[in-house]
Amino acid sequence: MRSLPADLVPERVGQALAEGWRLGGAPMEYLPVGGGGYHWKVTDRHGRARFVTVDDLDGKDWLGDTRDAVFAELGRALSAAAALRDEAGLDFVVAPVAARGGEVVRRVDDRYAISVMPFLDGRSYPFGPYADARLRTRSLDMIAALHQCVAVVRDRAPRHVPRVSGRGDLDAFLREPGRLWDGGPFSESARRLLVARAADLSRLAEGFDHLADLTAPARAEPVITHGEPHPANLMSAGGRLVLIDWDTIGLGPPERDLALIATGREDLGRYQQATGHRPDPAAVTFYRLRWYLDDLASAIRLFRNRHRDSHDTRRWRDGLAPRLDQLPRWLDLLG
């Protein structure tokens, strides 16, 4: 996220760092990076740098329906990541630094929660499909190793529910596409774009629900999944490739991760050889569609509700029309 929200007070962030991690008074450098959360670089008195993340509990509805539920599940997710690093020995897992009470996440206030990670000095990769075949293969091998560690966290990790973030806002728009939006400067221009595609969007949502039912048997045996193993969540640091952003971790089918990595039969065959599991192509399609529909629903949620003119909201506005232009391809794929 690029722009800090008005109700997130940096002094409260500093207080949470002091109380939880004894980082009171440490220099805080705001980092306008990433697609979710708000980040700072903080250096302690020993010169060790930490990567601090503050999450908006209202923006993680895949974890729960209330702020308290989201906070609890976020704690379970980050604790599971720590277990994968410490107990399963997966050194590519960038897991949180525990606070002095042992917890991995703390409240800043009612709405925001804070966690602390090691600060990595290395190379990151751009968001999008894997353009580098070697990087894709290395990511695929990491995910195969992750999926085989389900026994370590089976009773501790959140259970992934394959729903669309912002689905309530999407359904509300489809019920009343003609209802005006007045939440902010981009509300009506976004709604007009969506109204022109409302019929196709409705068909796509129905197709997603049908595909969810169709692939339920193939999704019945969960493994531990990362959730978003795209290139932007990889870093090369200290001579190794690591995977970051573990708030989406959950018990789910392998196809949840494979949908963002595998590009064809060769990749799926490599995964099957490593794990013994034969991926289901329909489940891969289901998760790719979920990702696309999630983007559209998230845009609807943003512009239906209160928002302001910022770098982030302009980026979502500028990306809406190109996303909608992809609708025919997805409808063709669903038949």
What are the tens digits of pLDDT across the range 143-156?
999 999 999 999 99
Shared domain for 73 and 215, answered yes or no, is no
Which of 119, 140, 160 is where one domain is finished? Answer: 119
Is the domain of 185 the same as that of 308? yes
| Range in 183-187, 231-235, 311-315 the model is least confident about | 311-315
Mean pLDDT score, 282-287 = 95
State which residues form the domain around 216.
Answer: 123-335
Contact partners, residue 208, CB within 8 Å, separation at least 6 = 164, 286, 289, 290, 293
| pLDDT, the chain, mean | 93
Q: What's the sign of the alpha-carbon dihedral 148, 149, 154, 159?
A: negative
Task: Check whether residue 197 and residue 222 sit in a common domain.
Answer: yes
Predicted pLDDT of residue 259: 96
pTM of the model: 0.91
Question: Do 210 and 293 share a domain, yes or no?
Answer: yes
Instruction: Name the DSSP class of 219.
Output: G
Euclidean distance between CA atoms 69 and 21, whole angstroms: 23
Q: Is the domain of 262 the same as that of 324?
A: yes
* Shared domain check, 92 and 168: no
Shared-domain flag, residues 313 and 234: yes
CATH number, domain of 262, equals: 3.90.1200
Summarize the confidence of residues 60-66 as an average pLDDT: 87
Last residue of a domain, one of 80, 96, 119: 119
Helix (H) or strand (E) holding 318: helix 311-324
Q: What is the pLDDT of residue 25?
A: 81
Task: Annotate 186-196 with b (16+ C-beta within 10 A) or e (fewer).
Answer: bbeebbebbee
Report yes or no: 105 and 96 within 8 Å, Cβ to Cβ: yes
Number of domains composing the chain:
2
Could you tell me if 87 and 188 lie in one domain?
no
Tens-place pLDDT, residues 73-130: 999 999 999 999 999 999 999 999 999 999 999 999 999 999 999 999 999 999 889 9
325 and 253 fall within a common domain: yes
- Percent pLDDT > 70 in the chain is 99
Answer yes or no: do 164 and 210 share one domain. yes
Return the H-helix or E-strand segment holding 281: helix 281-304
CATH code, domain with 27: 3.30.200.20
Residues 171 and 305: their CA atoms lie apart, in Å, by: 14
Mean pLDDT, rounded, for 266-275: 96
Alpha-carbon distance values, 198 to 5, 70, 201 (Å): 31, 31, 5
Based on the domain organization, do 199 and 311 belong to the same domain? yes
Residue ending a domain, choose from 54, 88, 119: 119
Tell whether 67 and 154 lie within a shared domain: no
